[in-house]
Amino acid sequence: MSSQTNQSSPSSMDAIPSTNRITDFSLHPAAKALERFKQNPRVSRVRLIVPHDACPTCRQLEGEYDKDDVPELPLLSCSHPLGCRSFYEPMLTEIYP
């Protein structure tokens, strides 16, 4: 008496060309934050913060990045059962007049 769930997984995930396509990832708070940082000229670099109990993949990526070169969150290779909970922290540039 087992009810089987139909697990049909569409395999069209591989060829997402650019970020202007709306995916579930765009709803991730970190993804939204990064978008704001990229539009903010005062933010030059972004630090990727990973939680204390993050998976090894996330921990490897912890660090500081150029904001155009920062890994996108949530990390697809994240293996944490609760999902990727890493986030970005902006590094503000001091602009002198």
Of 6-14, 24-32, 52-60, 64-72, the window that binds Zn ion (rule: CB under 5 A) is 52-60
43 part of the interface to Zn ion, by CB under 5 A: no
55 part of the interface to Zn ion, by CB under 5 A: yes
Q: Which is nearer to Zn ion, 46 or 58 (CB)?
A: 58
Distance of closest approach, residue 13 Cβ to Zn ion, in angstroms? 18
Inter-residue contact 30 to 88 (CB < 8 Å): yes
73 part of the interface to Zn ion, by CB under 5 A: no
d(CA 72, CA 64): 13
Distance of closest approach, residue 95 Cβ to Zn ion, in angstroms? 34
By CB under 5 A, name the one of 58, 61, 70, 73 that touches Zn ion: 58
Inter-residue contact 69 to 37 (CB < 8 Å): no
84 part of the interface to Zn ion, by CB under 5 A: yes
Residue ranges that bind Zn ion, judged by CB under 5 A: 54-55, 58, 78, 80, 84
